[in-house]
Amino acid sequence: MANSNLPRRIIKETQRLLSEPAPGISASPSEENMRYFNVMILGPSQSPYEGGVFKLELFLPEEYPMAAPKLGRICLDILKDKWSPALQIRTVLLSIQALLSAPNPDDPLSENIAKHWKANETEAVETAKEWTHLYASGE
Amino acid sequence: MDFEDEDGYTDAEEEELDSQGGSDVGGHLSEEDENKDCGHNHTALCEADIRNLQEQVITEVSSVLNITKYSATVLLSQYNWDLNKVKDDWFADEEKVRNKVGLMEKPVHNYPPGKKEINCRICFDDFLPRDMVSASCGHMFCKLCWKGYITTSINDGPGCLTMRCPEIKCVAAVGEDMVNTLISNEEIKRKYSRLLLCSYVEVKRNVKWCPAPDCDSAVEFVMGSEMFDVVCNCKYNFCWNCLEETHRPVECDTVVKWMLKNSAESENVTWILANSKPCPKCKRPIQKNAGCMHMTCTPPCKNEFCWLCLGSWASHGEKTGGFYACNRYEAAKQKGLYGEEEKRREMAKSMIEKYTHYYERWQANNKSRTKAVADLHQVETVQINILRDGQGESDAQLKFITEAWEQIIECRRVLKWTYASGFYLPEDEPEKRQFFEFLQGDAESGLERLHECAEKELVRFLDAKEPLEDFKEFKIKLSNLTSVTKKYFENLVRALENDLAQEGITSCKVQGRP
């Protein structure tokens, strides 16, 4: 079973995530696999994503913390070459939350949306609000 | 060995020196043009030689900048081993360079004095300071975490040469000294030192690794030398320019094209069958990229032909039913002469057949050469001893046998590459092709006789219980075959190097006959 020899660091991190969660972020390990986390990030206030609930899956690979957590398709330097073992799940999730407050259209996942954002930010913000309401309102 | 490179000449100076050296060598060469011997265009370097060269740069930076050798190594790694830039930048603004490469003079992080235990920010456990280690920045981590961090980084590859302190956003360098003290696994340490060596070789334009698999040696080339053939310590002969095995007299371009073709051929066949036709003149595959049937092959061929009937475009026009429909084709098709698919397949097949012809001969000579290398080894280690005792000959008298085998090996190599050349000879210069095939044929049949004689006729003397009278005859025969074959191949090589220009064809013939 993957849980039997979980490094102390992961256990400590998990305990702290549960006992002192960062504002707007919740991360809880799955029961079957303690390296697998269900994450929810609330859209930051004063951002187009306000009111939205964003669900993520986070996985700690065998090499963690020497290797970065795995987090789906998110373009974030600290998940790649800028990873440091002194970073934590909490710091990674805070960075993602910050990305929602200040998107980086120069390093996008979706080229089309980035183009839209650069060409007409007001309109793109409106679309983001709409989609947040449609797809991430937590129902 | 010449170590002067490292004495701080700029690149431009170095090149000038090198090319002077090169022209000197050229002067010697013309005297012995006959056997094209050129041992002066390169120096074979074993790993220790390269380490020495690297060590000299490190030592120089260490003494001039008054820093440890480990710091000098970090500095040079980050500066791509550019000695002059390191010195310039350092003396212009030492502090800036130190911050950039992460060689702090004083720790940037200090723990409160008297603190008994410090929390390791990687494993979250507490340790006594004496059980913890930091880089020049002062950020302490436990030894086990350091070990994991360094090992992961080294296993990730060359990035480990610019390894930084694990603390978030800290730029302090982690150098070879820390690797050596914290890592006990010899394999990991060896990997690190090898990567360090590679990073040095990579930026030196006059040093390249030997391309032979499992070979750790390199070759230092005299830049500006005309001849690219080099030999590594491991005896592998290769071309400095393209890193393929030695292929003189065939040009690098031809070799690269040929090797690429060999690797891509199996996948290409299907595509060629489905999408292209060979140009009726030069046989290169043509893909139709415009709408009309008027095809013009790419230069130098420039053949103009009709895509449908593959006839010459000059004979097309109103009489064949206009430019955009081919009567001949339509008529022939109605008579059932052109099953379109069938015809296309046939064309592609003829092209593949041409390739197969050359490839098989290239491959066969390659295998034959490999076998000959093994046979020569057998001759040198076993057979010479038997003959010395059995036939009562001295080592000097038996030299003709090793000479024969060396000739065979060299000829197989040349012959092999001439098949790559042959494939690319232009179809529209039949006289060149004829000349080439004539010389190649002579050379090949000479080589077959020599190879057979060395392989088959020697056996009898190896089995003999006592000296045989006709050993002298055998010696004369094999020696003659060796020198005749050598002549044939020299003619072939010379002709290819002159791009098969026809002058001298008669003298070649005369020279070539035994």
d(CA B514, CA B497): 23
Chain B residues whose beta carbon lies within 8 Å of the beta carbon of residue A91: 168
Whether A39 maps to a domain, the answer reads yes
C-beta atoms surrounding B470 within 10 Å: 12
From A2, A18, A74, A75, the catalytic residue: A75
Give the residue-averaged pLDDT of B413-421.
94
Give the nearest partner residue to B125 out of A8, A84, A85, using CB atoms: A8
Contact B122 A12 (CB under 8 A): no
Q: Which structural domains are found in chain B, ordered by start?
A: 51-202 (3.30.40.10), 279-337 (no CATH), 354-510 (1.20.120.1750)
Name every chain A residue with its beta carbon within 8 A of the beta carbon of B126: none
Q: What is the mean pLDDT of each run of 10 residues along chain A (139 residues)?
A: 74 92 92 93 88 92 93 80 92 91 76 82 86 79
- Is the separation of the CB atoms in B320 and B314 below 8 Å? no
Q: Select the more confidently predicted residue: B69 or B35.
A: B69
With respect to residue A53, please indicate whether it lies within any of the assigned structural domains: yes
In Å, how far is B170's CA from the nearest CA of chain A?
10
The predicted structure's pLDDT at residue B326 = 62
Please report the pLDDT score of residue B340 as a whole number: 62
Does B125 reach chain A within 8 Å, measured CB to CB?
A: yes
Identity at B352, one-letter amino acid code: I
* Residue B5 confidence class, pLDDT cut points 50, 70, 90: very low
From residue A70, how far is each of A75, A101, B135, B145 by CA, in Å? 12, 22, 28, 21
Domain interval for residue A43: 8-135
CB pairs under 8 A between A and B: 32
Look at residue B271 in the predicted model and tell me its pLDDT.
Answer: 57
In-domain check, residue A73? yes
Asked whether residue A112 is domain-assigned, the answer is yes
Q: How far apart are CA B370 and CA B409, in angstroms?
A: 8
Structurally, chain A folds into a number of domains equal to: 1
- What is the secondary structure of B298-364 as a DSSP string? PTTT--EEETTT--BGGG-SGGGT-TTS-HHHHHHHHTT---HHHHHHHHHHHHHHHHHHHHHHHHH
pTM score, two decimals?
0.64
Q: How many helices (H) and strands (E) does chain A have?
A: 4, 3
Predicted confidence (pLDDT) at residue B477 exceeds the cutoff of 90: yes
Query: Token pair 């009726």 is at which residue?
Result: B280
B169 chain-A contacts, CB cut-off 8 A: 84
B360-406 pLDDT per residue, tens: 889 889 989 999 999 999 999 999 998 888 888 888 889 999 999 99
Residue of A nearest to B156 (CA): A67
Residue A3 lies in a domain: no
Chain A residues with CB inside 8 Å of B121's CB?
86
How far apart, in whole angstroms, are the C-alpha atoms of residue B349 and residue B73?
58
Quote the CA–CA distance of B139 and B390 in Å, as a whole number. Answer: 76
Q: For position A126, which CATH number holds?
A: 3.10.110.10
Cβ of B148 and A66 within 8 Å? yes
Residue A1 included in any domain: no
Q: Within a domain: residue A2?
A: no
User: Could you tell me if B346 and B408 are in contact, meaning their C-beta atoms sit under 8 angstroms apart?
Assistant: no
CA of A120 to nearest chain B CA: how many angstroms apart? 34
* Contact flag A9-B122 (C-beta cutoff 8 Å): yes
Residue B22 reports pLDDT greater than 50: no
Question: A81 contacts in B (CB within 8 Å)?
Answer: 159
A100 is catalytic: no
Return the top range by mean pLDDT from A131-135, B238-242, B308-312.
Answer: B238-242
Give the C-alpha distances (Å, rounded to integers) separating B429 from B352, B359, B419, B510.
Answer: 21, 21, 17, 24
| CB-nearest partner of B166 from A9, A63, A86 | A86
Residues of B annotated catalytic, as ranges: 292
DSSP reduced 3-state for A89: helix
- State the CB neighbour count (10 A cutoff) for residue B182: 18
Give Cβ neighbours of residue B97 (< 8 Å, ≥ 6 apart).
Answer: B75, B89, B90, B103
What are the C-alpha distances in Å from B395 to residues B176, B404, B472? 52, 15, 15
Task: State residue B306's pLDDT score.
Answer: 75
What mean pLDDT, rounded, does chain B reach? 82
The answer to whether position A122 is within a domain reads yes
Check whether B178 has a pLDDT greater than 90. yes
